[in-house]
Amino acid sequence: MGKPTGFMEVPRITDAEAAPLERIKNWREFKIHPAEKQQRAQASRCMDCGTPFCHTGHMVSGMASGCPVNNLIPEWNDLIYRGRWKEALERLHKTNNFPEFTGRVCPAPCEGSCVLGVIGPAVTIKNNECAIIDRGWEEGWVTARIPEIRTGKKIAVVGSGPAGLACADQLNQAGHSVTVFEREDRIGGLLMYGIPNMKLDKELVVQRRVDLMASEGIEFKTGIAIGKDSVWTTEKLRADFDATILCCGATAGRDLYIDNRDAEGVFMAMEFLTTNTRHQLDHEFDGSNPALNATGKDVVVIGGGDTGTDCVGTSIRHGCKSVIQLEIMPQPPEKRAANNPWPEWPKIYKMDYGQEEANALQGRDPRHYLVQTKRFLKDAAGKLTGLEIVEIEWTKDEQGRFVPQDIEGTLRVIPCQLALLAMGFTGPENEVIQKFALETDARSNIKAEHGQFTTNVPGVFAAGDVRRGQSLVVWAINEGRGAARECDRFLMGATNLP
């Protein structure tokens, strides 16, 4: 597989990036693919391990280990090394409808379970994947595939995030007529408005794929909120379509109900990110900022993860006065802990792009660990002025559960005029669930077994975050493909979809 001695001879080199102090001046993507010679050398590090874990897609200790869409990683690494890029693209598209998305925003659980990672730095799988698909677009290899035969079956897909798009793509290729409904003004869901442009370009990457899908026969309808729309009711959906697949996401953000939550200046992270991306697209990235912005403000991002990082990077591009990030959990170790062995996802300390940018501007990682917010502070006009925070330690209560305990003498106030809540999501919004009279699980997600994706209502399927809860883009693609397969089986009695 590849070069047998590649992993011993070639050091890991990831894609280059524009310098932090340069890239914060604009909203463009900042990753830079290397020359072909270096890319092929990186692919040669795939070590013919015999039993590759990179494409297994199993859940280990509650986390993804390996690729959830089962990408044929060793195969296309070998093809890159041999310079057979078009064949590599064909292998990649066998399992992944949108490698240009995952190659940019996936946290790469495949690399966390790479066998080479047991003894050294893992193969640059994510970079290699992105290089394949970007080259495919540049060379004109990614073209419309219009089904030759139509089945006469009509399917509604509600939600145009990665699950909805993957589902629609698969069903369209099976010959069904697919209509995708999206409540926002643009197609893409999380891909369009939940991820900033510097991580995933909207016009050159997301819209390009949407346009291709439209040319293949998929119909997209925007500005329609199923469950609220007076025309496109759930009853009309069931009457007009042979099946409905709900891919609405888990967009109900986790709030922080503490004193003065009503202060002017406290926002959910996704409102902040969505408002910014919509403004930038509407104004063609002309350098202006939306009304909801961080310009000249002390910004505090409460919560970590990708959403918190995106808030940091966005605030910096707005020209904030300062930005810090509060994490209630302890700082991860530099290397895998004993209770976090390979092939689990490595829970180790690292700086993502937002932290790198804050570090370059402010001289330190913006994250403060083991900190809890006690209350918001506001002035007489109701505007946010600061946060009261305290350092905590995790202790066990009488039932043996870990709970945060305030550390005496650490209570203090920090200045803040913009607080962004990035503490994850509690589940899907419930209008569609109620209108369809769907059963839910203990976490308020639509009840539908993975692998079947069928709800308690015949002909109605559920996939993605609306079924499994907040998760990765790559899991959403997995679920969208799976739901398409089962919907095809439901409509036709059998299926050839993978």
Average pLDDT over residues 17-45: 97
End-to-end CA distance of the chain: 25
Residues 15 and 95 in one domain: yes
What whole-number distance in Å separates Cα of residue 159 and Cα of residue 156?
A: 10
Residues 272 and 400 in one domain: yes
Q: Which residues pair with 127 in a beta bridge?
A: none
Residues 180 and 130 in one domain: no
> Is residue 208 packed enough to be buried (19+ CB in 10 Å), middle (13-18) or exposed (0-12)?
middle
DSSP labels for 156-168? EEE--SHHHHHHH
Q: Is the pLDDT of residue 404 over 80?
A: yes
Residues 368 and 319 in one domain: yes
Q: Assign residue 201 a region: left if phi > 0, alpha if psi is -120 to 50, beta otherwise? A: beta
Q: Is residue 1 included in any domain, yes or no?
A: no
In this structure, of 4-8, 110-114, 161-165, 354-358, the range with the lowest mean pLDDT score is: 4-8
Q: Which of 92, 108, 139 is the last residue of a domain?
A: 139
Distance of CA 55 to the CA centre of its chain: 19
Its sign, for the CA torsion 79, 83, 86, 92, is positive
Q: Is the pLDDT of residue 59 over 90?
A: no
> What does the pLDDT read at residue 348?
95
Residues 370 and 308 in one domain: yes
Q: Is residue 148 included in any domain, yes or no?
A: no
Q: Assign residue 382 a region: left if phi > 0, alpha if psi is -120 to 50, beta otherwise? A: left
Residues spanned by the domain of 351: 255-423
> Is residue 273 packed enough to be buried (19+ CB in 10 Å), middle (13-18) or exposed (0-12)?
buried
Residues 172 and 242 in one domain: yes
Residues 299 and 200 in one domain: no
CATH label of the domain that carries residue 463: 3.50.50.60
Query: What would the pLDDT profile of 426-463 be if each residue is shown by its tens digit?
Result: 999 989 999 999 999 999 999 999 999 999 999 999 99
Residues 398 and 376 in one domain: yes
Average pLDDT over residues 7-35: 97
Q: Is the pLDDT of residue 61 over 90?
A: no
Which tokens hold the place of 128? 């290699």
High-pLDDT (> 70) share of the chain, %: 100
Average pLDDT over residues 201-208: 97
Residues 448 and 412 in one domain: no
Query: What would the pLDDT profile of 104-133 be if each residue is shown by its tens digit?
Result: 999 999 999 999 999 999 999 999 999 999
Q: Which of 423, 446, 478 is the last residue of a domain?
A: 423
Residues 279 and 417 in one domain: yes
Q: Is residue 147 included in any domain, yes or no?
A: no
Q: Which of 369, 375, 374 is nearest to 394 (CA)?
A: 369
Residues 437 and 407 in one domain: no
> What does the pLDDT read at residue 259?
97
Average pLDDT of the chain to the nearest whole number = 96
Q: Which of 423, 443, 468 is the last residue of a domain?
A: 423
Query: What would the pLDDT profile of 333-383 be if each residue is shown by its tens digit?
Result: 999 999 999 999 999 999 999 999 999 999 999 999 999 999 999 999 999
Question: At which residue do the structure tokens 């990179």 appear?
Answer: 54
Q: Is residue 279 included in any domain, yes or no?
A: yes
Using pLDDT thresholds of 50, 70 and 90, give the confidence band for residue 2.
low
